[in-house]
Amino acid sequence: MIFLYRISTVLTLVWIAVAYFFSFLLLNHLPMTTSTSVPVRSLLLVVLNFALSGSHVFGQPTSWTDKNVKISTTGELTIKPSQTSSAHDFDFLEGKWKLDDKKLKSRLSNSTEWIKFESTVEMRKLLNGIGNMDIYKTTLDGKPLEGVALRLFNPETRLWSIYWADSNRGVMDPPMVGSFEGDIGMFYCKDVFKGKPIIVMFHWDKTDKNNPVWSQAFSPDNGVSWEWNATNTSHRVK
């Protein structure tokens, strides 16, 4: 099993600890009249609820485990399917969607500036259900962008391969390989970014089938650390 962490996890835990500490002081050590205690206590509950409201920062998971992949110190990937992996794992995505997208302005450069934009996707099944294809459309920097995602399920390995190409480059990226463990899908590949080898990860969360979340992360150090650089939340068009 591989354990993957980000600095945002530490910051989140510090934030929760600080919120608990000051809430304890205020609730137990400061004198309050009846008229002030109720609103103050209500405010503290809001703060604590915000602190504990999830394990995501900017829409991406901050820590997780994936028992179905091993990354060697040299960056070699060993990926096995989950016990529940099937050709129906992406059925939830069939149809038309509107997306709220975010991407880092600059990748692997300690950037914290996120660019927000909107897009659309239409997905349909192929090959009697063992494949599917997205048509992705958006506008970035005033220029139209169209992308295609092709997903293929291998019945023998029970692994998905996800291929991507867009109108900016006209080149098919290396396939992302992996599977879903319940509602969480994890997919990986080796790639090159600015001349340096990296590992790319896709994280799918389909807990809410009508509002699934996709995120992408790069690792420049063979899975020791990860930087989330893109995410979107899809909203089904009825």
pLDDT digits (tens, 9 = 90+) for 14-37: 444 544 454 444 445 545 444 444
Q: Which residue type occupies 67?
A: K
In the three-class reduction of DSSP (H, G, I as helix; E, B as strand; rest coil), residue 47 is classed as helix
Q: How far apart (Å, rounded) are the C-alpha atoms in residues 79 and 89?
A: 17
Residue-wise pLDDT tens digits, 91-109 = 999 999 999 999 999 999 9
Domains delineated in the chain: 2-51 (no CATH), 65-236 (2.40.128.20)
Which pLDDT belongs to residue 116? 97
More confident residue, 51 or 85: 85
Average pLDDT, the chain: 82
Q: Which phi and psi angles does 91 have, rounded to 5°?
A: -60, -30
The reported pLDDT for the residue numbered 94 is: 97
Handedness of CA 63, 99, 107, 222 (dihedral sign): positive
Total residue length of the chain: 238
Confidence of residue 111 (pLDDT cuts 50, 70, 90): very high
Which structure tokens are listed for 10?
Answer: 């530490």
The pLDDT assigned to 173 comes to 96
Look at residue 74 in the predicted model and tell me its pLDDT.
93
For the entire predicted model, the pTM comes to 0.76
Look at phi and psi of residue 195 and say left if phi exceeds 0, alpha if psi is from -120 to 50, else beta.
left
